[in-house]
Amino acid sequence: MIKVVLIGSGNVAQHLIAAFQNAPNSGTEIELIQVYSRQTASVSHLINLEQITNNLDALAEADLYIIAISDDAIEAISSLLPFKNRLVVHTSGSVPLNVLNEDNRKGVFYPLQTFTKNKPVDFKIIPICLESENATDYQLLDKVAKSISEKVFAINSEQRKALHVAAVFVNNFTNHLYQIGQEICQENQVPFEILKPLIAETANKIMVLSPEEAQTGPAKRNDTATIEAHEAFLANENHHEIYKTLTQSIQENGKKL
């Protein structure tokens, strides 16, 4: 049996706790034996109270320690772990492997998804990107990852950095564009609800088409009259500049194809 200790209590940590608790082979091959949280109440609804500690010196002996905390705290917490030569991994998309303290064996266990507290996700379809310093540790990480997900990938630190930047574009920036669309609707007394089927279809299309093939709109068609009308309509300078920049990017991309 592989024993796992989770360090953290935020969004990622809480979803990982739920995933391990609900895994089909939970308690047989992989066991989440303990969770470290500075505030035990934040995870007490997910795991038995006796399995929670707020004292790093009380961490149980395990095969794997998963640090699921904010990026800027990973290095500090890894240096405070009261043991040596155990497998310690973090869950960050942007933090390199070598940030982890040298006292322990290092790895990465990065679930590539946007997580929100109290919003359940199907962990089976979430990609988990793995990295380790040696093949033996990778095999252990692979087994743990496959206990909760059907999509597991070997990804090195440079590749993970590229994935994280790409994820910001397709998730964070896209969501910000939704916000701008909502603001434009609100300013003109139009229900944002009307756009939701379009948003869903746009996301669904790239499941079967490449983004280049799925691209539509006035920039793709080089519809100058519509583009100029849109730019004239946008009184908000920030919205205007974003529209102009994205239009130019689409047009430049079209020239390269």
Query: CATH no. for residue 151?
Result: 3.40.50.720
In this structure, what CATH number is given to the domain that contains residue 180? 1.10.1040.20
Instruction: Report, as an integer, the average pLDDT of 182-210.
Output: 96
User: To the nearest whole number, what is the mean pLDDT of the chain?
Assistant: 93
Instruction: Report, as an integer, the average pLDDT of 91-108.
Output: 95
Predicted local distance difference test score (pLDDT) of residue 25: 56
Predicted local distance difference test score (pLDDT) of residue 101: 96
Structure tokens at 146: 């496959």
HEC string of 67-88 equals ECCCHHHHHHHHHCCCCCCCEE
Element (H, E) at 166: helix 157-167
CA triple 199-127-23, angle to 5 deg = 110
Are 110 and 143 found together in one domain? yes
Query: Domain tally for the chain?
Result: 2
Task: Answer whether residue 28 shows pLDDT above 60.
Answer: no
Predicted local distance difference test score (pLDDT) of residue 119: 81
* pTM for the structure as a whole: 0.86
- pLDDT tens-digit map of 142-176: 999 999 999 999 999 999 999 999 999 999 999 99
Are 229 and 140 found together in one domain? no
Structure tokens at 226: 């519509």
- pLDDT tens-digit map of 31-75: 999 999 998 888 998 899 999 999 999 999 999 999 999 999 999
Q: Which of 155, 189, 209 is the last residue of a domain?
A: 155
Are 84 and 178 found together in one domain? no
Are 116 and 187 found together in one domain? no
Radius of gyration of the chain (CA): 22
The pLDDT > 70 percentage for the chain reads 97
User: Rounded distance, CA 44 to CA 22, Å?
Assistant: 16
Q: Which of 109, 130, 155 is the last residue of a domain?
A: 155
- Report how far apart, in Å, the C-alpha atoms of 49 and of each of 3, 15, 64, 251 are: 18, 17, 20, 57
Are 40 and 141 found together in one domain? yes
Task: Answer whether residue 208 shows pLDDT above 60.
Answer: yes
Predicted local distance difference test score (pLDDT) of residue 39: 87
Q: Which of 155, 182, 213 is the last residue of a domain?
A: 155
Instruction: Report, as an integer, the average pLDDT of 104-114.
Output: 95
Q: Which of 106, 105, 113, 114 is nearest to 129 (CA)?
A: 113
Domain assignment of residue 141, given as a range: 2-155
- Report how far apart, in Å, the C-alpha atoms of 196 and of each of 113, 120, 185, 199, 216 are: 21, 21, 12, 5, 17
Task: Answer whether residue 117 shows pLDDT above 80.
Answer: no
Predicted local distance difference test score (pLDDT) of residue 163: 95
